[in-house]
Amino acid sequence: MTPSLNNSDDRYSKLLFLTWGVVTTLLFVVYWPSLHGPLIFDDIQNIVENPLVAIKDLSYASLKQALLSNDSGLLKRVLPALSFGINHVMAGGFIDTLPFKFINLLVHIINSGLFIGLVLLLWPRLKFPACTAPILDGSIVNRNISFKSLTYEVPYPLNQNGCCTSFSRIQVILSIAFISSLWALHPLQVSTVAYVVQRMTSMAATFVLLGLCLFVYGRQLLEQNFSRGLAYMAIGIVAGTILGLLCKENAALLSCYAAVIEFTLFKRKALAAKQKRGLWLFYIILVLLPVCLVLIYYFISPGNLIASYGGRSFSLSERLWTESRVLWFYLSLIVIPDISNMGLFHDDIAVSHGWVQPISTLVSLIAWCVLLIATWLMRNKLPIFSFAILWYLVGHSMESSFLPLELVYEHRNYLPSMGIIIFMAYIFICALNYLLSHHQNTLIQRVGLMTVCVILVVCVAYASRLRANYWKSEKSIFTSIGINHPESAISQYLYGEVLFKTDKQPLQAYPHYFKSAELNPNEVAFLVMAVLTTPPEIMKELQDQHLKKIFSNAYIVDLILHKPLSPWSLTIFDSAGKCVIARQKHCLMHRKDVQAWLQAVLKSRYVAAKYKRQYRLQLFNIQMLNGMHKAALKTILKAIDNYGRAFQYFLMQADALQAIGRYQEAMTVLKQAEMGVRGRRPDLLRKVQRMQRIVAQKYSIQQRRLTDKVID
């Protein structure tokens, strides 16, 4: 490889950067509706409700606080966590989401540029068709294509005058532009770019791509300068992996991606025997050894892995069976980007309980075996095919294998989709070249090829724009997934939430809550909302014994006591309690049910103390509302025993005491509260004094009645 810096090279380098600029512009157009969209789900847990993220300035102490604000993974994903803190300062809080969303888009734009660089480095080995012009005499010549310091040979067909066509050099850039546009603008990427917390995924990808660019550059240097090339390769893998791991754990796959590139696209015949041994040692140390150590760790203590599935609704074997089907599902979304099949949740994909349950599991396994055999057989004839399949499978080898993660998430395809899209572009360009090859007019071929490619990119961008438009509000997100995924319990539940809480239409919401409970009767949140919103006359008319059972209070209480509660359930009890306390009609009729659910939550060993404290206060309010004053007094005394004295507890205890006629005890408690706030909190003191007057008045009435009885 020799550097080349002539004027022609500068022109094509500028054209390459112009390509990236066009992709960037399209990305802004596509994602514009989502830039003011809401923070949802994991955004709330990891960012909004994380007090360590809410830094006020960019001082060293504040930045350190933000850096260590995340608890995910061994290395705490510190770089994305730091960026969230900086976003908080930029936005002045969490209300303005533009800084959060913009940085996500910026990271994606950077990744699209790195992807362009990676494809450019790999271009001569991907063996794309060099030109659409017909090869009239069947002869081929080699000619260097140079971009700044990168020079390599690409076969150029001779034209009818025996000269190389200049179009082929431009075709390299246009082909790379086509590939990068397909990946960057693919609608599958929307759930990574528009979902703020998935910056962890995209930032990890940034360092993986950067590391791979260094690796490939070093690998191309290897034959001319072995030690220097090997140094670049090592720096790329080691530095890229370390920096990527500071964002997300799947960056550990960088060395495996490098191995795929090596063993599908590079040849080792030109290397001396000593150099081959050195190269093999390099891959043994940086690829094989880390993989073996991870596998040994899990095989030595399989009990820990199996135990980690305790909170899941599927086992290790069921996950492995199911992922064989899920990988084909992902592949279908990449090849046919139908946005109606995409969404945040895919719990409508059934769990495989065995290799023939359902039968599609066996079909998927056989298909993967056939594909892997084809990958091996075609490794020399069609290396780009082998590269695409192995890149895709390696990319999913962590999050779609034996680890106890959720079964399906679209953002897992952010990097793995690259290999498939490169191969799709290859097939597309080859097919168009073949279809247009009968035209003797080269201009028609070129214009036809570019027109079809542009139309395809525009269609993909339009689909992404439609999907990004869903992300402009929480309502539009939940509505879209509810409509597009009628068999997804979570999607139906969230659609019900929109109709119930946002649109204030409980009668329209209950069928979706009802459907979600039918689809997943083991999820407490779905059952609770179905019970609260379904009209009682419909519940009474139920004939299905299974439905009667799952909607019964006894069944729901048993689930709460004996199964881990999901985040949905932990929030739903808060909503149910507030609904009863607010005296909403549809909830008031179920206030005894809500009371029983809250009591079960307080007894559950699966619920953290921070949630129990909040639920105990709600239970007190509901018990007071139900006239169960003695039970309410026991509840607040239990809260005092567990959490100590708080001002609010004084008032609640006094309220319960006066409700059962123990006015003197209530006055004593209020006196203690008064002493605690006098001279420090005049606002709280006024509350105490107001309640003292009420209790004193009731006590006075009680004494008069007693006096009257004595006189009588």
What the block records as the tokens of 228 is 């220097």
Same domain, 689 and 577: no
Report the alpha-carbon angle 608-609-612, nearest 5.
95
User: Could you report how far apart the first and last alpha carbons of the chain are, in Å?
Assistant: 115
pLDDT at 281 over 60: yes
Model confidence pLDDT, tens digit, residues 9-45: 677 788 889 999 999 999 999 999 999 999 998 999 8
Model confidence pLDDT, tens digit, residues 359-381: 999 999 999 999 999 999 999 99
**Which pLDDT value is given to residue 437?**
67
Residue after which a domain boundary falls, among 590, 605, 639: 639
Same domain, 516 and 537: yes
Report the alpha-carbon angle 485-486-492, nearest 5.
90
Positive or negative, the Cα torsion across 60, 62, 67, 68? positive
Which one, of 58, 35, 211, lies nearest residue 108 by Cα?
35
Close Cβ partners of 661 (under 8 Å, ≥ 6 residues apart) = 702
**Which pLDDT value is given to residue 392?**
98
Q: For residue 3, is the peptide bond before it cis, meaning its omega torsion is within 30 degrees of 0?
A: no
Core vs surface per residue 380-413: b (16+ CB within 10 A) or e: eebbbbbbbbbbbbbbbebbbebebeebbbbbbb
Q: Which amino acid is at 284?
A: I
Alpha helices in 471-523 (DSSP H): 474-484, 489-497, 506-519
Contact yes or no for 414/192 (Cβ under 8 A): yes
What the block records as the tokens of 138 is 């069947």
**Which pLDDT value is given to residue 504?**
84
Which carries the bigger pLDDT value, residue 163 or residue 203?
Answer: 203
Same domain, 602 and 706: no
Same domain, 612 and 660: no
Same domain, 502 and 625: yes
Same domain, 545 and 661: no
Residue after which a domain boundary falls, among 401, 416, 437: 437
pLDDT band with cut points at 50, 70 and 90 for residue 181:
very high
**Which pLDDT value is given to residue 259?**
97
In a domain, 336, yes or no: yes
Residue after which a domain boundary falls, among 639, 667, 695: 639
**Which pLDDT value is given to residue 271?**
87
Note down the domain range covering 656: 645-712
Close Cβ partners of 298 (under 8 Å, ≥ 6 residues apart) = 304, 305, 402
**Which pLDDT value is given to residue 712?**
60
Close Cβ partners of 243 (under 8 Å, ≥ 6 residues apart) = 79, 207, 210, 211, 251
Q: How far does CA 180 lie from the centroid of its chain?
A: 22
What the block records as the tokens of 202 is 């995209």
Core vs surface per residue 304-338: b (16+ CB within 10 A) or e: eeeeebeebebebebbbbbbbbbbbebbebbeebe
Query: What is the average pLDDT value for the chain, to the nearest integer?
Result: 87
Same domain, 502 and 572: yes
Which carries the bigger pLDDT value, residue 81 or residue 703?
Answer: 81
**Which pLDDT value is given to residue 152?**
44
In a domain, 268, yes or no: no
pLDDT band with cut points at 50, 70 and 90 for residue 600:
very high
Over residues 270-275, the mean pLDDT reads 89
Model confidence pLDDT, tens digit, residues 145-168: 444 444 444 444 434 433 334 346
Largest interatomic CA distance in the chain: 129
Same domain, 688 and 547: no
Over residues 630-657, the mean pLDDT reads 87
In a domain, 571, yes or no: yes
Q: Which amino acid is at 403?
A: L
Q: Which amino acid is at 21?
A: G
Residues in the chain: 712
**Alpha carbons 696 and 46: distance in angstroms, whole number:** 48
Same domain, 652 and 633: no
DSSP string, 451-463: HHHHHHHHHHHHH
pLDDT at 131 over 60: no
In a domain, 25, yes or no: no
Residue 89 is classified by DSSP as: H
**Alpha carbons 114 and 130: distance in angstroms, whole number:** 23
In a domain, 629, yes or no: yes
Model confidence pLDDT, tens digit, residues 568-594: 787 888 888 888 888 888 788 888 888
Which one, of 329, 332, 333, 330, lies nearest residue 467 by Cα?
333
User: How far from 269 is each of 260, 275, 459, 493, CA to CA, in Å?
Assistant: 18, 11, 43, 59
Q: Phi/psi zone of residue 93: left (φ > 0), alpha (ψ -120 to 50 degrees), beta?
A: left
Our CA dihedral for 446, 448, 452, 458, rounded to 10 degrees, sits at 80
User: How far from 540 is each of 62, 479, 544, CA to CA, in Å?
Assistant: 57, 29, 11
In a domain, 125, yes or no: no
Helix (H) or strand (E) holding 152: strand 150-157
pLDDT band with cut points at 50, 70 and 90 for residue 231:
very high
Contact yes or no for 292/255 (Cβ under 8 A): no
Contact yes or no for 260/236 (Cβ under 8 A): no
Residue with the two structure tokens 């690409």: 154
**Which pLDDT value is given to residue 90?**
94
**Alpha carbons 503 and 222: distance in angstroms, whole number:** 64
Contact yes or no for 594/602 (Cβ under 8 A): no
Same domain, 618 and 695: no
Above pLDDT 70, what percent of the chain?
91
Q: 316-321: list long-range contacts, CB under 8 Å, 24+ apart.
A: 316/402, 316/404, 318/351, 318/352, 318/353, 319/402, 319/404, 319/407, 320/401, 320/402, 321/352, 321/353, 321/354, 321/355, 321/361
Same domain, 634 and 651: no
Which one, of 99, 81, 80, lies nearest residue 89 by Cα?
99
In a domain, 563, yes or no: yes
Q: How far does CA 291 lie from the centroid of its chain?
A: 25
Q: Based on the structure, what is the number of domains in the chain?
A: 3
What CATH number has the domain bearing residue 536?
1.25.40
pLDDT at 137 over 70: no
pLDDT at 440 over 70: no
User: What does pTM read for this prediction?
Assistant: 0.86
Same domain, 634 and 660: no
pLDDT at 336 over 60: yes
10 Å CB burial of residue 610 (0-12, 13-18, 19+) is exposed
In a domain, 370, yes or no: yes
Which carries the bigger pLDDT value, residue 600 or residue 165?
Answer: 600
Close Cβ partners of 444 (under 8 Å, ≥ 6 residues apart) = 436
